[in-house]
């Protein structure tokens, strides 16, 4: 932008994104202008009133992010915050750019390889770059729910993990790496 004030009254437009930021976010994400503006509105509404005009530079605590309808019912909500958070503190707080990344990856416009890359990171509970038995156990537990009636028995869990590894572990090293994971996902379009 030229930076010569466009005479917008302060207040009314304080909660809007700077125009040049909007274009940049559009290039960096799979989101449309509308989606970015809506994301900004939603993000700033997670902040206390007095912080809203600095929404683009303020981090929202994880506890607030977890109140979003998309995440509230998501069994991977904690992992999602962890994977998208760029917080130095390691508290999984989310900046506006983190939030955009998150929405972008989950949007319908994100290509499958981007989606599967993030899914892999979310399922890699110990962040070691592979899905091992422990990760798969946690993954299955998240998916089947924690309720008594839905919980799998030890034997069922074993069987399921064995099946997953049989399907996916191409080099038979007992873990699933990113390319093995993407290969499996590419064969199941409903993923």
Asked whether the beta carbons of 25 and 36 are under 8 A apart, the reply is yes
Per-residue pLDDT tens digits of the chain, which is 191 residues long: 444 444 444 444 445 788 889 999 999 999 999 999 999 999 999 999 999 999 999 999 999 999 999 999 899 999 999 999 999 999 999 999 999 999 999 999 999 999 999 999 999 999 999 999 999 999 999 988 767 777 889 999 999 999 999 999 999 999 999 999 999 888 876 65
Q: Which domains does the chain have, with CATH numbers?
A: 21-106 (1.10.238.10), 112-187 (1.10.238.10)
pTM: 0.86
Residue with tokens 């156990």: 137
Q: For Cα atoms 71, 127, 156, give the angle at the middle one, nearest 5 degrees.
A: 75
Sign, CA torsion 161/163/169/174: positive
């Amino acid at each position: 932008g030229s930076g010569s004030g466009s005479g917008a009254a302060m207040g009314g437009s304080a909660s809007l994104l700077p125009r040049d930021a909007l274009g940049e976010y559009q290039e960096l994400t799979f989101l449309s202008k509308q989606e970015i503006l809506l994301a900004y509105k939603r993000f700033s509404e997670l902040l206390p009133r007095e912080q809203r005009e600095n929404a683009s530079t303020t981090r929202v605590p994880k506890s607030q992010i977890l109140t979003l309808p998309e995440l509230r019912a998501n069994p991977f909500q904690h992992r999602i915050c962890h994977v998208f958070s760029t917080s130095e503190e390691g508290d999984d707080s989310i900046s506006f750019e983190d939030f955009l990344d998150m929405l972008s990856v989950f949007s319908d416009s994100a290509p499958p390889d981007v989606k599967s890359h993030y899914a892999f990171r979310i399922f890699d509970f110990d962040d070691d770059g592979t899905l091992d038995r422990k990760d798969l156990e946690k993954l299955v537990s998240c998916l089947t729910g924690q309720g008594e009636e839905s919980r799998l028995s030890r034997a069922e869990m074993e069987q399921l993990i064995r099946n997953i590894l049989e399907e996916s572990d191409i080099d038979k090293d007992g873990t699933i790496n990113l390319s093995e994971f993407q290969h499996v996902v590419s064969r199941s379009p409903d993923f």
